[in-house]
Chain A
Amino acid sequence: MSKPLTKADFTNEREVRWCPGCGDYAILAALQKTLPKLGLPPEKHVFISGIGCSGRLPYYMNAYGFHTLHGRAPTVATGLKAMRDDLCVWLITGDGDGLSIGTNHLVHMLRRNMDINIILVNNQVYGLTKGQYSPTSPKGMVTKTSPDGVAVDALNPMMLALASGASFAARGVDKDPKHLGELIEASFHHQGTSFLEIYQDCHIFNPGAFDAFSTKSNREQHVDYLNDAPNDLSRAMELSQLTFPEHPVPLGIFYREAREGFKLENNGHKKRADLETLLRAKASFKVEA
């Protein structure tokens, strides 16, 4: 490459339309700052998203993008990656998109372990539909559809990912963009499906949900930065169950293993003559003039 890539190469001219104060701005910026370091030109990156505020992210990246259906982005990413292993595929999803309507696909994507990078933006609320409780809303949270508080326990995304066979599982926060950038980079370099959960502030419907540990002043006391990632599933499972305020919140890479993933090989080497034989392979007969 003649000229080193910069943030500008991954930024387009579209006006970004998330609410002021939304954590998605920081995630977008972290991606735009990190991608130039990865060496691939913008046209080799594809961002595939579902529905929700996070689903808009592909429109703001100067890269190929496909804003698909609610919960179904993993399916489209799977088909694309199966045919186009030359591309770097990013999957952008959220707590409603990936953990409610699309949970089945997320589980199977992790199990299949194709080389795809999942970014799950978790703000514990449905933002785009204006404030209903999501599968990760804490028990008791009051929302438009839970005036008396959410009745059931929240789903634990990290445990789900690990149980589904994630070969790389990590967690970051929007308010620590430098650390987030490192995790994005590690996700990219992981061979296999990487699962990166990002705690993100929905400034309108769940403001400051993570501030008690995620702001700069609170991090030192309330965050446990994981600095090694042994191939130890039991430890990762234990870490995934440490919740605030009883425990500091673990951020970083929970688990990483080398495991072969699903791949379709292009084995199509047969020629016209082979096709002629194939057509005649079963119960064929000749009628002479």
Chain B
Amino acid sequence: MNPSQNSIIIRLAGDSGDGVQLIGEELTITAALSGKEVRTLPDFPAEIRAPQGTVSGVSGFQLAMASEALFTAGETLDVLVALNPAALKKALPYLKPGGLLILNEDSQSTKDWSKAGIAEDDVPDMLEHYQVIHVPLVSETIKALEDVDVSTTEAKKAKNFYVLGLALWLFELDTSHALNFIKQKFKSKPEIQKGNQKALQAGYNYGLTLELQKQDFILHNMPRAEGDYRQITGVDAVAMALATLATETKTRVLVSGYPITPASAVLHAAAPLNDFGVELIQAEDEIASIGAALGAAYGGALALTCTSGPGLDLKTEMMGLAVVAELPLVILDVQRAGASTGLPTKTGQSDLNQALFGRHGEAPMPVLAATSPADCFETILQAFSIAVKAMTPVIVLMDAYLANAAEPWRIPDINTLEMPDIQYHTDEKPYARNEHLARSWNTPGKAGFIHQLGGLEKAGVMGEISYEADNHAEMVSLRAEKVLKVSDDYAPLSIEGDKEAEVLLVSWGSTYGSIQAARATLDIPVAHVHLKHVWPLPPDLEGTVKAYKRVLVLELNTGHLCTLMRAQYLVDAKSIGVCTGQPFTTTALVSAIQKEVEHV
């Protein structure tokens, strides 16, 4: 461990049934409560329970803690806890030389090594460069639970809390939050509650017996602005935004979806919010879920349909109808790596082209992209404000990383939040325009406002069906202009880093943190502009881009935004695109930027 380092990265890895995600979250919350900056990234297999002990079944949870601002969950591990050889095999390449490796001694039989595809003879060489601690995890846990009335199988299950205890000791974190969590979570099962608490305490005490220099793992606390905070994932931030919208606008909110990884988590998070006015339809398919959302919007509700890549394909026809019917609707796409089924649990930004262009005819829609887990809250609020103001469907892009990653969120003062300005029946002529070029939201049920909507081309003002050539041309440009006007409300772009540099980095969506981390280690000066609004592009982007000698566009795809910028601005922007299913790593980003800059 480098003593000058102000952050520590730990990964907990085990079988997908080992409870690794659970203790990862509790460790994170404890660290955040103690005043550390934290970022997390879970990594679980696509299969719910892949064969035990195999590499494909490994579930991991990565936590970065720091005494200063952090931007990502990091990439090089300082500490790895591997509960079996498969977890070791999968995660060891990320552990830095000299790093601390905690292994489960009870899972090191010949059979265990062979299941992971490791030759037992190679193990000493494998572990040579690390500081290794072998913990007899299962036997120690069973021993700790001797006087608790649980079966051996149940006792074994408590081993994750033993690991949590050990980790708390390592980072000098207080056990009280975790003990309280166990108390709450298992309150209906007193013996399990007692067993887990004992396991946690035993893990902590085991640490005390270790001869380990742990100064390296103790961080100072970081100064934080006054206020209430919570740990929040992107998915939770979406749910909180929906509850806020329903409560504050007193308008019913419908969430409609069909199970798909990783977007299903949004349905799970929305389901308990019924008392706040958030209602849920699990539809028969992706098309039905956007159809129901559009029907709800027609009826005057705030409607959101959520999906991931393959589902977005299926929803496209209905988006076109929403464009022509001019109804407000939010389509949330939690991107995952494709094409086709691709890597369902892995991240990427490869749906951008589809979000921008993936509809037949001329069907422009605003596209927003959340920039961090906590920013998903603000992004959803904004998406609805835009949808209602411009009477248009809006796409919000998240991704698998944003959905699951967590960070501390300063809970906003609700009074300061901007809510959609919802007004119905402002004009009895259904296709008359206001100053934003939007039409009136004429929901059914009101006398004097009867009209017929549909996907056929509309004549202006009265919305009659029209096959006229000139009218079609006018309506095509009117719908495009209406969407472009959305950018009138954008805040000015903020240029970060060295504004006087020759190099400008441009990025969007979930990569904000990774790029900030890369900037901090780059030894060449760069300016950086990060977009939340991908369509329409910010009006000041063109001038910004043209003020720099070199423009590099960084995306987790093959250069979608880069192509768009080149087409829009005729600039010689270069793409740095990565499609690994993972967020950018700092090392790879830094070297790619350096290579691009030096290779004039």
B226, B298, B301: the one contacting A66 at CB < 8 Å is B298
B229 x A287 contact (CB < 8 A): yes
Which of A36-44, A170-178, A201-209 forms contacts with chain B? A36-44
A270 to chain B, nearest CB (A): 5
Is A238's beta carbon under 8 Å from chain B?
Answer: no
Q: Which residue of the partner chain A has the closest CB to B233?
A: A282
Complex: chain B residue closest to A70, CB-CB: B317
Chain A nearest CB from B166 CB (Å) reads 21
**B295 in contact with A75 (CB, 8 Å):** yes
| Contact in complex: A80, B450 (CB < 8 Å) | no
The answer to whether B293 has its CB under 8 Å from any CB of chain A is yes
B32-89 residues with Cβ-Cβ distance < 8 A to A are 32-33, 35
Given that A41-B447, A43-B445, A76-B294 are known contacts, is A68 also in contact with B321, CB under 8 Å in the complex? yes
User: Considering the complex, which residues of chain B in the window 267-283 have a beta carbon less than 8 Å from any beta carbon of chain A?
Assistant: 273-279, 281, 283
Q: Which residue from A79, A104, A284 sits with its C-beta under 8 Å from B228?
A: A284
Return chain B residues, CB-CB under 8 Å to A264: 254, 279, 281
Q: For B35, B252, B299, B446, which residue has the most chain A Cβ atoms within 10 angstroms?
A: B299
Main secondary structure of the interface of B (DSSP, over half): mixed
Set A79, A268, A286, A287: member contacting B275, Cβ < 8 A: A268
Supposing A43-B449, A268-B247 touch, asked if A83 and B299 sit within 8 A by C-beta, the answer is yes
As a 0/1 sequence over residues 230 to 258 of chain B, the CB contacts with chain A under 8 angstroms (1 = contact) are 11100010001001101110101010100
Q: A42–B291 Cα gap in the complex (Å)?
A: 24
Q: Is A256 an interface residue (CB 8 A)?
A: no
Bound-complex Cα distance A84 to B252 (A): 10
Is A58 among interface residues, defined by CB-CB distance under 8 A?
yes
B230 in contact with A282 (CB, 8 Å): yes
> Which of B252, B256, B447 has the most chain A CB within a 10 Å cutoff?
B252
Which of B33, B35, B288: most chain A CB closer than 10 A? Answer: B288
Closest to A45 in B: B444
Evaluate contact between A82 and B281: CB separation under 8 angstroms: yes
Q: How many A-B residue pairs have CB under 8 A?
A: 213
Contacts of B224 in A (CB 8 A): 287
- Give residues of chain A (242-289) contacting chain B, Cβ–Cβ below 8 Å: 264, 266-272, 274-276, 278-280, 282-289
| Listed residue (B303, B443, B444, B454) with the most chain A CB atoms within 10 angstroms of its CB | B444
Q: Which of A1-57 contact B (CB under 8 A)?
A: 41-44, 46, 48
Q: Is there an interface contact between B444 and A46, defined as CB atoms closer than 8 Å?
A: yes
> Which A residues are in CB contact (< 8 Å) with B444?
43-44, 46, 64, 80, 84, 87
- Chain B, 546-561, CB within 8 A of any chain A CB: none
Any chain A CB within 8 A of the CB of B465?
A: yes
Cross-chain contact A285 with B32 (CB below 8 angstroms): yes
Q: Is A235 an interface residue (CB 8 A)?
A: no
Residue of B nearest to A284 (CB): B230
Q: Is B227 an interface residue (CB 8 A)?
A: yes
Nearest A-chain residue to B280, judged by Cβ = A264
Chain B CB count within 10 A is highest, among A65, A66, A282, for A66
> Are A270 and B247 CB-contacts (below 8 A) given A79-B296, A84-B444?
yes
- Residues of chain B contacted by A76 (CB below 8 angstroms): 291-292, 294-295, 298
Check if B225 is an interface residue, CB within 8 A of chain A: yes
Residues on B with beta carbons closer than 8 Å to the beta carbon of A278:
240, 243, 273, 276
209-250 of chain A: CB within 8 A of chain B = none
B445 to chain A, nearest CB (A): 6
Q: Does A69 contact B (CB under 8 A)?
A: yes
Q: CA A48 – CA B277 in complex, angstroms?
A: 26
Do B450 and A64 have beta carbons less than 8 Å apart?
yes
Q: Which residues of A contact B414 (CB under 8 A)?
A: 272, 275-276
In the complex, A81 Cα to B290 Cα: how many Å?
Answer: 15
Given A83-B254, A289-B226, does the pair A67, B277 have CB atoms closer than 8 Å? no
Q: Please report the C-alpha to C-alpha distance between residue A59 and residue B465 in the assembled complex, in whole angstroms.
A: 9
B63 CB to nearest A CB, Å: 14
Chain A residues whose C-beta falls within 8 Å of the C-beta of B250 in the assembled complex: 268
CA separation between A59 and B254, bound complex, in Å? 28
- A148 interfacial by beta-carbon distance below 8 Å: no
The answer to whether A82 and B292 have CB atoms under 8 Å apart is yes
CB-CB under 8 A from B445, the residues of chain A are 43-44, 64, 84, 86-87
Which chain A residues border B290 with CB–CB below 8 Å? 75
- Complex: how many Å from CA A42 to CA B449? 11
Q: Given the complex, which residues of A lie within 8 Å of B244, measured CB to CB? A: 275, 279
Whether, in the assembled complex, B190 has its beta carbon less than 8 Å from a beta carbon of chain A, the answer is: no
Residue of B nearest to A271 (CB): B247
Contact with B along A73-112 (1 / 0, CB 8 A): 0111111111110110000000000000000110110000
B447 near A69 (CB under 8 angstroms)?
no
Beta-carbon contact of B318 and A72 below 8 Å: yes
Interface-centre pick from A62, A65, A280, A287 (highest chain B CB count, 10 A):
A287
Q: Can you name 22 A-B residue pairings with CB atoms under 8 Å?
A: A44-B445, A46-B444, A64-B444, A66-B452, A66-B453, A67-B453, A74-B291, A76-B295, A79-B293, A79-B298, A83-B296, A83-B300, A84-B443, A104-B284, A264-B279, A264-B281, A278-B273, A279-B240, A279-B411, A282-B232, A284-B228, A284-B229
8 new A-B contacts, CB < 8 A, other than A84-B444, A268-B275, are A43-B448, A75-B318, A79-B256, A270-B276, A275-B244, A278-B243, A278-B276, A282-B230
